[in-house]
A and B are shown apart, each in its own frame.
Chain A
Amino acid sequence: MTTHPQFSRRSFLTSSGALVVGFSLVSTADQAVARAMKGAFPAETAPSLDAWISIGSDGTVTLFTGKVELGTGIETALSQIAADELDVRMDQLRVVQGDTLLTPDQGPTWASLSVVRGGMEVRRAAATARALLLELAAKTLDADAKRLVVADGVVTAPSGRMINYGALVAGGQLKASVDPKAVLKPASAYKLVGKSIPRVDIPAKVSAKFVFVQDVKVPGMLHGRVLMAPRLGASITGVNDAKTRKVKGFLRLVRERDFLGVVASTEWAAIKAARELDVQWTGGQPMPSTATVYDELRRAPPAETQQLVNTGDVEAAMRVAPHIFEAVFEAPYQTHGSIGPSCAVADVKPDQVTVWSATQAPHFLQVNLAELLGLPDDKVRVIYVEGAGCYGRNGHEDAAGDAVLLSRAMKAPVRVQWMRHQEHGSAPMGPAQIVKIRAALGVDGKISAWDTDGWYTELPKDFPPVHMSGFRAAGAKQYEGSFAGYVHANQQPIYTIPNQRVTAIRVGTRHVRVSWLRAPGRIWNVFAVECAVDELASRANADPVTFRLTHATDARARNVIERVARMANWLPRTERPNSNDGLLRGRGFAYARYSNNGAYIAMVADVTVERATGKLSLNRMFVSHDCGTMVNPDGVLNQVQGCVIQTASRTLFEEMGFDGTTVTTVDWASYPIMRFSQVPEIVVDLVDSKDPPMGVGEAATAPVPGAITNALFDATGIRFRRLPLTPAHIKAALDAQKGKTTL
């Protein structure tokens, strides 16, 4: 049972004594985002909330964060930072996250920024609190604040007198604003930061004590299921509910234009009621077939063409270059593939709406829902409850919208759980992408020019709100279009190249809703760059690793490249080894700097390919990873391993399918992902660094497709430029190659 108590912020704080540090946790950049986003709704802007650290009279420290735990371990990392700065133990600190009533708006949890930005904000708040507490203690203990020592929340004076944080605050309400000049602890004083402190959430997750959003129950809760259009924009022409009405427990059909849901008193009744409903749909956006996805993308009229980079003189360099290389790289639509389909609970009362959701952006969702319901922001409370890993924006916000619509109709709390085929078929997808590269090798064997066009299925609008499919179907006005973010990041090659032109071609949403899927845009940009650079190395008769080093001046880049090569015992290839056991063997290299300004990662992939079937086995992946200071090294390692496995799966198996009328890949049979037996051995070198921390949740995805594809070339002599690298795809290429050589 997990009802969150309904209380106001004021009542939360008027327990017997508290120290409250209030401040604006919103960084200037995120503040601009929040303001711009709120500006999209002219009706109302809610005052931004102050953020709090509160210390209760029992000594418990509560950290309120807008950044939320998505499964990557940031709740633990932020706790380490706060506990270290405050000199308390981890078990003396608890976190309240992503509750629009209680926590600050730190902007969405995205872009691998939680520790980098959120962590710094938390550190300053904690340092402010500690300084204040020491001031109080100095008075109480009649000592010089500078000579006090703190451990486990207990302050001790040189005299031996001591007092704990709880006693210091008892009986009074103390408030302060964050001191931007608060003295922060030096790294040498860290006890928790930098250590692999065990995740605070895992014990509950292995013992059925953890409450996921899918586990939320509220008194009087009903169950809803939504009937979803087979394609974007289709409308309902007929509904036959004869069989539905016979389902025991069925309560009501809810229909608002093309939004259609069933509500029942039990979950099983809701599932059956939805299954028994006979719905006719018509129209909607034309769908491609799987085979025509790239043609459709290439032929789509561009909404905007942006020249991102134009340096030197590309054409002049091309004119005199001895070698010109040109290739087009293609990556498919993919689904986030969350193991737990999207889910939300909503309780819509006339003057107060509460939504339990696993959204990455509770404050965005709050503002959206308030606008759609015609309520002031502070009448809508979004409470973050962790769902299964979502890896970007999947269907959680849509499920929240669905639950709100049903709850409003039923005047009771309603839980909506998306079914598997809905999660695959109707949640926004990671978009297909095309990257064209034309590059020149100079007489010196170095890359002298680079000209690249990238097709992105998103529009470069200002921060729009989260667009919910249920409200759209119901005919509500929502901001159309999606935000591109920095999906063009990594399209510019990271290497030293004197003449460059980088062009981004933005096309509108084509056939399906698209959203950010882990390392959006960047992942396929790095795939293209790393495959192209590998091909250029071949043309230059250079070893792939040596070739990267020739074009990389950044010492940290060179470091990870050299380290991984050493670790993998990379040797220049003089000739492809003979294979007489039906297995082709190869290894490939790739390097990336995430977003061209983040973590540095180099990888070597070892693969074998079965000639007869085209099946590729990724046997081993070596990784060298430099993300600056690591708050929790094992947390980083977990993310690196996860990025490698998930991205290897996307590279080898994953492609959303369409048949001209609808999405065809709607379960794990039709959209297989990597299984235990296919997982590679992963050897990771985490560079020990004192440099500022850089985001880790996505960085190690980027070199994976390039490393595997380059390994596949090493094994087969064939350059692959389209993903996924399925057995059928590889076998067809091997057969064609055999056909050529026997001529």
Chain B
Amino acid sequence: MKKITFELNGKRVSIVPEDPQMPLLYALRNTLELKGPKFGCGLGQCGACTVIIDGSAARSCLMPLSAMENRNVQTLEGLAIGDRLHPVQQAFIDEQAAQCGYCTNGMVMAAKALLDREKVPTEAQILEALEGHLCRCGTQPRVVQAVSRAAAILRK
């Protein structure tokens, strides 16, 4: 069984997976005991499992471990620096942009990936980045507000 090594939240990790086709989501949640990325559908349809891989938002439920060699992965756990939350996280708190919070991981990671590339996103760009993310509680207006707010803070 081949060892797979990648960078996770700034640290190198190695996994020897029983099945290299296992989606990254289960390695993160079970092998590495993270809670950020969520199982929502396992089909790439809802976005709850979103992580950032080499700078782009990606659905960890669809990424086999075999494709992860030498990649750079960031999860929700990796956004804060010590106790200091990332501006996107803080903006979600300031806008109270959550109800149950289950989709929040995907929203925050997608927003972070967007704002890493786009300093002054238009509303259209924000909606495009979030279009593939489902929220059943109906927090979308607050989420869009939070992303705009975070963008403004990051620009300072």
Which of B24-63 touch A at CB < 8 Å? 26, 29-30, 33-36, 38-43, 45-46, 48
Query: What are the residues of chain B within 8 A of A201 when measuring CB–CB?
Result: 101
Most buried by A among B41, B127, B133: B41
* Identity of the chain A residue whose Cβ is nearest the Cβ of B31 in the assembled complex: A266
Among B43, B102, B104, B137: residue with most chain A CB under 10 A: B137
- B136/A673 in contact, CB under 8 A: yes
Residue contact A339 to B134, C-beta cutoff 8 Å: yes
In the complex, residue of chain B having the shortest beta-carbon distance to the beta carbon of A642: B138
Which of A71, A391, A641 contacts B141 (CB under 8 A)?
A641
Q: Given A202-B101, A210-B35, A267-B30, decide whether A389 and B89 contact each other with a Cβ distance below 8 A.
A: no
Q: What per-residue 1/0 map shows which CB atoms of B122-152 lie under 8 Å from chain A? A: 0000010011011111111111100000000
Q: Are B136 and A208 in contact (CB under 8 A)?
A: no
Q: What are the residues of chain A within 8 A of B46 when measuring CB–CB?
A: 339, 668
Residues in A whose Cβ lies below 8 Å from that of B137? 71, 389, 642, 646
CB distance from B151 to the nearest CB of A (A): 16
Please determine whether B35 and A643 come into contact, CB atoms closer than 8 angstroms. no
Which residues of A sit under 8 angstroms from B118, Cβ to Cβ? Answer: none
| Segment 6-24 of B: residues with Cβ below 8 Å from A | 18-19, 22-23
Q: Of all chain B residues, which has the CB nearest A212?
A: B102
CB proximity to A under 8 Å, residues B78-101: 79-80, 85, 89, 92-93, 96, 98-101
Question: Closest approach, in angstroms, between the C-beta of A134 and any C-beta of chain B?
Answer: 35
A292 to chain B, nearest CB (A): 28
Asked, given contacts A72-B99, A207-B89, whether A643 binds B30 with beta carbons under 8 Å apart, the answer is no
CB distance from A273 to the nearest CB of B (A): 12
Query: A206-B85, A207-B85, A249-B18 are contacts. A214–B38 as well, Cβ < 8 Å?
Result: yes
B40: which of A203, A217, A340, A646 is its contact (CB, 8 Å)? A340
A516 to chain B, nearest CB (A): 16
- Is A118 positioned at the interface, with any CB of B under 8 Å from its CB? no
Write the A253-277 contact mask toward B (1 if CB under 8 angstroms, else 0).
0000000000000111101100000
Q: How far is the CB of B49 from chain A (nearest CB, A)?
A: 11
Asked if A205 contacts B104 (CB within 8 A), the reply is: yes
Which of A199, A267, A340, A675 is B98 in contact with, Cβ under 8 Å?
Answer: A199
| A675 / chain B contacts, CB cutoff of 8 Å | 131, 134
How far does the alpha carbon of A676 sit from the alpha carbon of B133 in the complex, in Å?
A: 8
Cβ contacts under 8 Å, A417 to chain B: 39
Report the minimum CB–CB distance from A386 to chain B (whole Å): 7
Kindly identify which residue among A212, A249, A638, A667 contacts B139, using a CB–CB cutoff of 8 Å: A638
Q: Does A616 sit at the interface, judged by CB under 8 A? A: no
Q: Given A266-B30, A682-B141, decide whether A646 and B76 contact each other with a Cβ distance below 8 A.
A: no
How far does the alpha carbon of A272 sit from the alpha carbon of B21 in the complex, in Å?
11
Would you call B142 and A267 a contact (CB within 8 A)?
no
Q: Which residues of A contact B23 (CB under 8 A)?
A: 268
**Proximity bits, A371-407, B CB within 8 Å = 1, else 0:** 0000000000000001111010000000000000000
B103 near A339: Cβ-Cβ < 8 Å: yes
Q: Which residue of A lies closest to B94 (CB)?
A: A198
- Min CB distance A670 to B, Å, is 10
Does residue A291 face the partner (Cβ distance < 8 Å to B)? no
Measured in the bound complex, the distance between the Cα atoms of B98 and A202 in whole Å is 7
**CB < 8 Å: which of B93, B140, B141 contacts A198?**
B93
* Total interface residues in chain B, CB < 8 Å: 54
Determine the interface band of chain A, counting residues with CB < 8 A from chain B.
35 or more
Given contacts A642-B137, A676-B133, contact A206 B103 (CB under 8 A): no
CA distance A387 to B137 in the complex (A): 13
Taking the closest CB of chain B, its distance from the CB of A576, in whole angstroms, is 30
Residue A719 at the chain B interface, CB threshold 8 Å? no
Contact between A642 and B139, CB atoms less than 8 A apart: yes
B40 — which chain A residues lie within 8 A by C-beta? Answer: 339-341, 388, 420
Interface on chain A toward B: helix, strand, loop, or mixed SS? loop
- How far does the alpha carbon of A438 sit from the alpha carbon of B36 in the complex, in Å? 54
Contact present for A643 and B89 (CB under 8 Å): no
Residues of A within 8 A of B115 (CB): none
Q: Are A210 and B138 also in contact (CB < 8 A) when A668-B45, A669-B45 are?
A: no
Report A357 CB to chain B, min CB distance, Å. Answer: 15
- Interface flag for A645 (CB, 8 Å): yes
User: Given that A642-B139, A676-B130 are contacting pairs, would A667 and B41 also be in contact in the complex, using a CB cutoff of 8 Å?
Assistant: yes
Instruction: Give the docked Cα–Cα distance between A677 and B127 (Å).
Output: 6
Q: Which residues of B contact A70 (CB under 8 A)?
A: 100
Whole-angstrom distance between the alpha carbons of A391 and B102 in the complex?
13
Q: B99 is contacted by which of A71, A206, A249, A271 (Cβ under 8 Å)?
A: A71
A220 to B108, CA, bound (A): 32
Within 8 Å of chain B (Cβ to Cβ): is A1? yes
Query: B48, A676: Cβ atoms under 8 Å?
Result: no
A248 closest partner in B (C-beta):
B18
* Minimum CB distance partner of B105 in chain A: A208
Most chain-B Cβ atoms within 10 A of its Cβ — which of A198, A202, A212, A645? Answer: A202
The answer to whether residues A668 and B41 also contact, given A641-B138, A673-B134 and a CB cut-off of 8 A, is: yes
Q: What is the minimal beta-carbon distance from A81 to any residue of chain B, in angstroms?
A: 19
A104 at the interface (CB under 8 A from B): no
Flag if A638 contacts B136 (CB, 8 Å).
Answer: no
Whether B99 pairs with A73 at a CB distance below 8 angstroms is yes
Q: Does A113 contact B (CB under 8 A)?
A: no
**Residues on the B chain within 8 Å of A208, using CB:** 34-36, 75-77, 105
| B136/A676 in contact, CB under 8 A | no
Query: Which residue in chain B gives the minimum CB-CB distance to A420?
Result: B41
The answer to whether A645 and B138 touch across the interface, beta carbons within 8 angstroms, is: yes
Say if the beta carbon of A679 comes within 8 Å of chain B. Answer: yes
Contacts of B76 in A (CB 8 A): 206-208
CB-CB contacts below 8 Å: A390-444 with B: 391, 417, 419-420
Check if B99 sits within 8 Å of A638, measured CB to CB.
yes
Q: How far is the CA of A272 from the CA of B18 in the complex (A)?
A: 12
Q: Is A460 among interface residues, defined by CB-CB distance under 8 A?
A: no
Is the CB–CB distance between A389 and B99 below 8 Å?
yes
Question: CA of A340 to CA of B41 in the docked complex: distance in angstroms?
Answer: 8
B102 adjacent to A388 (CB under 8 Å):
yes
Give chain A residues whose Cβ lies under 8 Å from the Cβ of B131. Answer: 675-677
Bound form: Cα–Cα A215–B30 in Å: 10
Q: Of residues 238 to 261 in A, which have CB atoms within 8 Å of B's CB atoms?
A: 248-249
**A266: chain B residues within 8 A (beta carbon):** 18, 26, 30
Q: How far is the CA of A676 from the CA of B141 in the complex (A)?
A: 8
Residue of B nearest to A669 (CB): B45
Say whether A703 faces chain B, with CB atoms less than 8 Å apart: no
Residues of A within 8 A of B133 (CB): 676
Contact A420 B138 (CB under 8 A): no
Contact A206 B100 (CB under 8 A): no
The smallest C-beta distance from B84 to any residue of chain A, in angstroms, reads: 11
Shortest distance from the beta carbon of B41 to any chain A beta carbon, whole Å: 4
Residues of B within 8 A of A269 (CB): 18
A215 touches B35 (CB 8 A): yes
A634 within 8 A of B: yes
Q: Which residue of A is nearest B143, CB measured?
A: A676
Least distance between B144 CB and chain A CB atoms (Å): 7
Given A70-B100, A248-B19, A676-B127, check contact A207 B80 (CB 8 Å).
yes
A337-B136 contact, Cβ under 8 Å, with A217-B33, A634-B96? yes
| Chain A residue contacts of B45, Cβ below 8 A | 420, 667-669
Q: Which of A198, A268, A641 contacts B142, CB < 8 Å?
A: A641
Contact B33 A206 (CB under 8 A): no
Check if A211 is an interface residue, CB within 8 A of chain B: yes
With CB as the reference atom, state the residue of chain B lying closest to A675.
Answer: B131
Q: Does A338 contact B (CB under 8 A)?
A: yes
Can you report 15 A-B residue pairs in the complex whose CB atoms are below 8 A from each other? A202-B93, A206-B108, A266-B26, A338-B136, A339-B135, A340-B102, A391-B136, A420-B40, A638-B96, A638-B139, A642-B139, A645-B141, A669-B45, A673-B136, A679-B141
Q: A202-B98, A271-B42 provided; 14 other pairs, C-beta below 8 A?
A: A198-B96, A199-B96, A201-B101, A202-B93, A206-B85, A248-B18, A268-B22, A268-B23, A269-B18, A389-B137, A417-B39, A644-B138, A646-B137, A667-B43
- 6 A-B pairs with the lowest CB-CB distances in the bound complex, closest first: A71-B100, A645-B138, A205-B101, A388-B102, A642-B138, A389-B100
